[in-house]
Structure 1
Amino acid sequence: MAQSLTLHSGILYGFERLHVFLYTGSTPEYFVIEGKAGEGGTQKLEIEGLSKEPTTVAASDITYYLARKGVGKVTANLTLLDVPFERENLMLGRKTTTDGTSLIGKETEAPEAAFIAESHLDDGTPVYISVLRGVFRREKTGADSIDPDEEFKPEGAEYVFTAQTLISDDKDFNGNTVATHIGDDAGKEHLFTVLGFEKPTIPAAPAK
């Protein structure tokens, strides 16, 4: 049975992993960022623009109608730690030379992408939050001096995912931007399939 967020179970706990889909060919490139050593980890996710700013329509000297259908400019702000250099280049559309130098310039173009973020409710039930299409970008990079008197604590990098409307043959998902599913069931499988996941098994959320 499908579940829904309620007053008592609607708080999300944690951000365990990020499933990334990159549409660079006939089959999506797929990988997971989930805190394995040397493979990057997830720290924070915030999605904005989920509701449209209502526009007033006046008639007969009153606010006669509020135009409110649709969503705003949907963007997801992600903080990710230690994403491998090669994977970040793929996400951001950076070219790499044969000897391993990453290049950013006028030909840089991020590929179409999608993601599914995993969290859970207070009872351990998994929650899957997806932005169905868009592109990743990273605005800045840099380096800081290390204070020899303090313990080094690495900080995550900030990425922005700018969403676009999904065009799909799946009538349920076509024309939508964000999807949320609760639980490990057929609905989860449907979501992964719509994004192009073709492996025989879908990674299950760990037991809490």
Structure 2
Amino acid sequence: MTLPDLTWPAAWHRPAFRGQLGAVVVLLLLLTSQLPRYFAWVQARPGRTLPDPLLAALPAHDVSGLTFAVIYLGIGLGVTVLLPRPLRLLRALWAYLGLHLLRCLTLYLLPLEPPPGLVLLRDPLVDQLIYAAPAPITKDLFFSGHTATLLLLALAVPVGWRRWGLLAGTVAIGTLVLVQHAHYTYDVLAAPLFVGLAWWLSGAAVGRTLFRAKAQP
């Protein structure tokens, strides 16, 4: 679904937009409030160790600094582009909510142990706000949330150099988390599939009739 680039005043005049924006913000806040407890439970569960020929051949290195520099620069770029475009922002928020729900489901269905040789990936922001737990969270594996987040932003921004930049950042993050042995190869390769599903579902959530360019508020 292609969204028109309405201004904030034009979008805000539509009751459906205001309702959906309020709903998705509330749902994201509710989900965020439950994630620390959920990830602590994920960490406490026993899981399987998967064979991964690529990781077995790839020496592990600590690239946390570079990883989060790319992630936060990408997030900053994506948010800067989306904030003046309320309809794209709304769809991105629905997709982000769907992506987190899908990830919670896959973590529930596929308990895993960390890859051999894991070098702990340190995120000073998320570790304190989302993953707060007595021990570091290392079992939030399938699928790679870092890779998925940048790819989702790449889909959300308009076509052009910013999308290509975010796609390059996605490839970089997928590579860096493997260098760190923070994810299995399968976690990274699966991320685009779930991003595509979340993005498709977000189009249904927003609704094809809600934001037609010629619709009247």
TM-score, normalised relative to structure 2? 0.24
TM-score, normalised relative to structure 1? 0.25
Task: From the two aligned structures, give the one with the greater strand fraction.
Answer: 1
User: Highest Rg: 1 or 2?
Assistant: 1
Task: From the two aligned structures, give the one with the greater helix fraction.
Answer: 2
